[in-house]
Amino acid sequence: MHSPDAMPEKSYDAQQIELKWSDRWKNSALFQAEENSSKPKFYVLEMLPYPSGQLHIGHLRNYAIGDALARYKRMRGFNVLHPMGWDAFGLPAENAAIANKRDPYEWTRFNIENMKRQHRRMGFSYDWSREVTTCDPEYYRWNQWFFLKMLERGLAYRKRSLVNWCDECGTVLANEQVVDGCCWRHESTPVEQRAIEQWFLRITHYADELLNSMAELEAGWPERVLLMQRNWIGRSEGAEIDFHLDPAGTPIRVFTTRVDTIYGATCVILAPEHPLVAELTGAAAKAEVKRMIDARAAKGPGDIEKEGIFTGHYAVNPYSNGKIPIWIGNFVLMGYGTGAIMAVPAHDERDFEFCKQYGIPIRPVIRPVDGTLADAATLKESFPDDGILENSGPYSGLASEEARRVMSAKAEKENFGKPAVTFRIKDWGISRQRYWGTPIPVIYCEKCGIVPVPEKDLPVVLPLSIAITGKGRSPLENVPEFMNVKCPKCSGPARRESDTMDTFVDSSWYFYRYCDPHNSTAPFDSKKIAYWFPIDQYIGGIEHAILHLIYSRFWTKVMRDLGLISNGEPATRMFNQGMVIKDGAKMSKSRGNVVSLDEMVEKFGADTGRVFELFAAPPEKEMDWTDSGANGAYGFLSRVYRFVTRNIGNAQPAPGEADKKILRKLHQTLRKVTEDFESRWHFNTSIAALMELMNNLQSMEKQISAPVMAEVLEKMALMLEPFAPYLAEELWEEQGRQGPVFNHPWPAYDAELAREEEAEVVIQVNGKLRGRIYVAFGTPRETLEKLALGDAKVQTLLDGKQVVKVIVVPDKLVNIVVK
RNA sequence: GCGGAUGUGGCGGAAUUGGCAGACGCGCUAGAUUCAGGUUCUAGUUCUCGCAAGGGAGUGGAGGUUCAAGUCCUCUCAUCCGCACCA
């Protein structure tokens, strides 16, 4: 017979435990997804990281959430695909090459190795056999292949246009990469508009579908992301209408959503960059226009004073035949609609401001449905709502909505316009004048023009070890062995495209490659995609709401139309984790508040890091990293470890009341943790529940019988598995059980055992808590009322008062209302 | 300006369905134990009045609905995020 302290308590040595298990997991295929499994599949994915070299604890959160889910789902019997890879192309590698003379390839490889080591040290359950690295020619050849397919279908095209240029990056940016007029990477570098020839992908072809199929995502994607995408796509229905010049000349086409107000148009306004401006202005005005464009560029976005120049020319309103002046206005955008508008000051706020400023007449033509037409002379503000048309020729008396339909139909019929839909989203410019990216597989031949690289010649391999200065045009231009080729058509001398692709191309489809990462004849086998897709849970930062998340939706639709896949959306559920905050700010090098992962792991251990990141706040909210908080998580794991090790195989008292209590707490905890996984992912409350269980265990340690203790210790390890896998595994082994823990089913809770024995019923007098009684569940209302009224303390409070009403909520509360 | 989110102790947060506000953790206070060490254990910790029993107030603010409001409604303030001349 053992004494109660037979098993000595061991102290929790996180390093020793974690290194031991990490070593055992290293070369095994434990976390590999199964092919041809009969289990239901679950694809959980965290956004692939850029291999910057060092993970810090700000990166950890996303992986801790994903890994908890992956481990839980495995235990629930799913065939889980949980892969990891590297978004390995991009500017930092090139900048490192310039600054430290490190070869981008070597630099990237080195970083990947280090970050992979960090991932392994954290014990994340990735299937590393599916690792994808985007700078690997076997990966990016498929970027090129997709590009060729798009080129064939007219979804990729080359165009000279005004593009966003970041001087700091030395390259062009897509519209999505411009934030508040500045580069998304260099927040204080305003982008310049430059006219450059570049390659575009026709994302606008899918604008309507990208918008409409959001309906499928509403259940599983954050409303915030969908809203941002909806705004970004910016669909707007209206009409295009031609205003002819007077005297005759090239007509000015305007886009308007309010053709019903056209009888109130009192001028036409062109964007300063509008092509007709040159035709309509003299030398003096041209200089003014240039000044206008420069002033706006200098100011950046945001508030600019409205400014206008009268061209001296007039246009004719095709409906009223009235002659109205043509102006140039700095607030009219060349990049939206047709770059020209009709100004209806009476019914548009901006037009009102402009016309007031320049004394242009105001002509009300819409009255409120239940009001009268405004008087132009006394008008203080525009009336932008729909209403009833007046002073609008044959259309007077129509409601706005009907008028729009009738009037745009007339324009189409008589060939001076048409109903039109305009989008804010523009085609995706993918050319980058940089080195470290996927070469665009195109050849320029003097004779044949633009010639796509034949599929059989893919991949066009990016030459390694070249000189990068960061000056001038794309570094590839200085590599003759790359640039000079024979034309695939005529075999004459030709040059390769020297631009590379935006790295968002790489990340637009990488998650498909995980399903078939070593396929050398196709990007993937469609059958494998059919099994794994769509992604069941995608996890990543909100910063990609209109970047990666819109590009990858587009790419999915393109691949579907190429017949490669059958799903129309990449992921059914999306989750945006909250940021990690340190000392009141987001972690960043410039603020000097970065805590490196290695430092954290050395100090606390991987399990502690995970548990604290999940415990400190719900996963979608910001969380504050504090060392004292992390220390608390360490203390919890340490208490669990010591408790379990000292209670294994101990002789314990005979079964008694404590057994019942602790089993109840155990099953309540199981229920709580299970529910958190199944519904809202509030792992902070799951971990709090585990802590409560631990507190309860400690307080009744000496009263729990051996079989009950064994059950509690077993289930404790199972429940810890998603949050602190190293500790779970260690405790499992200490108990003499066969691992690994995640191959065991998630423990079911027993609702009967979890149920409290008695209901605690609160007694209130006038809504104030005055006492509590304990009764059997289901005690009838009348009994409860009687018990409450009979309560000694209640009696004294009722003295001299009149009971007006008694509210009884069975098993919960009795409220006595007195006067 | 428009749209959205959030506001709870000294701090992070809990309260999932209108029914005990403050679970859990940090920090702090007191005590015990042990000290070469991230101690461990016990008790306490919303504010306030009171020696205490006990009372009062309390979820950004002001109203309201209700027997009952952190939770629902109206207004308002603050912070954060997104959009911002998109015709």
Give the Cα separation of A328 and A288 in Å (integer): 10
Q: Return the pLDDT at A182.
A: 78
- The answer to whether A419 CB is within 7 Å of strand B is no
Whether the link from the prior residue into A653 is cis, omega within 30° of 0, is: no
**Angle, helices A683-699/A627-647, rounded to nearest 10 degrees:** 50
Which bases of chain B are contacted by protein, using any atom under 7 A from a CB? 3-4, 11-16, 19-21, 23-27, 38-42, 55-56, 67-69, 81-87
- The answer to whether A813 CB is within 7 Å of strand B is yes
- Name the residues in A565-604 having a C-beta closer than 7 Å to nucleic acid strand B: 603-604
- A452 is written with which tokens? 């796509």
- Nearest alpha carbon to residue A335 among A238, A252, A424: A424
Distance A771 CA to B74 C1' (A): 35
What share of residues in chain A are helix, strand, coil (percent, to 5)? 40, 20, 40
Nearest nt (C1') from A679 Cα: B16
Nearest nt (C1') from A814 Cα: B19
Distance A260 CA to B7 C1' (A): 45
C1' of nucleotide B82: residue with nearest CA = A228
- Name the residues in A257-276 having a C-beta closer than 7 Å to nucleic acid strand B: 257-258, 271
Distance A625 CA to B4 C1' (A): 26
| Element (DSSP H or E) covering residue A292 | helix A283-299
- Name the residues in A192-231 having a C-beta closer than 7 Å to nucleic acid strand B: 223-224, 227-228, 231
C1' of nucleotide B15: residue with nearest CA = A685
3-class SS of residue A194: strand
Give the Cα separation of A719 and A60 in Å (integer): 21
C1' of nucleotide B13: residue with nearest CA = A617
- The answer to whether A616 CB is within 7 Å of strand B is yes
Distance A475 CA to B44 C1' (A): 69
Distance A13 CA to B39 C1' (A): 14
- The answer to whether A388 CB is within 7 Å of strand B is no
C1' of nucleotide B41: residue with nearest CA = A698
Question: Do A397 and A301 meet the contact criterion of CB atoms below 8 Å apart?
Answer: no
Nearest nt (C1') from A636 Cα: B25
Q: How many CB atoms lie within 10 A of CB A480?
A: 8
Distance A253 CA to B84 C1' (A): 25
Phi (first) and psi of residue A322, to 5 degrees:
-75, 150
Question: Do A392 and A403 meet the contact criterion of CB atoms below 8 Å apart?
Answer: yes
C1' of nucleotide B38: residue with nearest CA = A631
Give how far Cα A536 sits from Cα of A69, A379, A422, A614, Å.
Answer: 11, 56, 33, 21
Q: How many CB atoms lie within 10 A of CB A375?
A: 9
- The answer to whether A781 CB is within 7 Å of strand B is no
Distance A636 CA to B44 C1' (A): 21
Give the Cα separation of A682 and A614 in Å (integer): 8
- The answer to whether A635 CB is within 7 Å of strand B is yes
| Element (DSSP H or E) covering residue A500 | strand A500-501
Q: Return the pLDDT at A8.
A: 65
Question: Do A273 and A281 meet the contact criterion of CB atoms below 8 Å apart?
Answer: no
Q: Return the pLDDT at A6.
A: 44
| Element (DSSP H or E) covering residue A581 | strand A580-582
Low-confidence residues in chain A, pLDDT < 70? 1-8, 297-303, 471-472, 651
Nearest nt (C1') from A616 Cα: B12
- Nearest alpha carbon to residue A60 among A637, A630, A717: A630
Strand partners, A817: A805
- Name the residues in A460-519 having a C-beta closer than 7 Å to nucleic acid strand B: none
- The answer to whether A691 CB is within 7 Å of strand B is yes
Ramachandran sector of residue A766 (left: φ over 0; alpha: ψ -120 to 50; beta: rest): left
Question: Do A135 and A120 meet the contact criterion of CB atoms below 8 Å apart?
Answer: no
Residue where the block lists tokens 């665009």:
A440
- The answer to whether A300 CB is within 7 Å of strand B is no
Q: What is the DSSP letter of A677?
A: I
Distance A11 CA to B39 C1' (A): 11
Q: Return the pLDDT at A303.
A: 64
Dihedral sign, CA of A714, A718, A723, A729?
positive
Residue where the block lists tokens 């005979």:
A654
- Name the residues in A344-373 having a C-beta closer than 7 Å to nucleic acid strand B: 348, 350, 353
Q: Express each pLDDT in A545-575 by its tens digit.
A: 889 999 999 999 999 999 999 999 999 999 9
- Nearest alpha carbon to residue A147 among A501, A462, A554: A501
- The answer to whether A609 CB is within 7 Å of strand B is no
Give the Cα separation of A516 and A539 in Å (integer): 21
Strand partners, A310: A327
Give the Cα separation of A193 and A563 in Å (integer): 38
**Using alpha carbons only, how large is chain A's radius of gyration in Å?**
34
Distance A701 CA to B43 C1' (A): 19
Q: How many CB atoms lie within 10 A of CB A673?
A: 26
Question: Do A116 and A83 meet the contact criterion of CB atoms below 8 Å apart?
Answer: no
Distance A337 CA to B77 C1' (A): 40
Question: Do A678 and A610 meet the contact criterion of CB atoms below 8 Å apart?
Answer: no
- The answer to whether A256 CB is within 7 Å of strand B is yes
Give how far Cα A756 sits from Cα of A303, A636, A719, A769, A774, Å.
Answer: 62, 26, 21, 21, 11
- The answer to whether A814 CB is within 7 Å of strand B is no
- Name the residues in A731-760 having a C-beta closer than 7 Å to nucleic acid strand B: 760
C1' of nucleotide B6: residue with nearest CA = A621
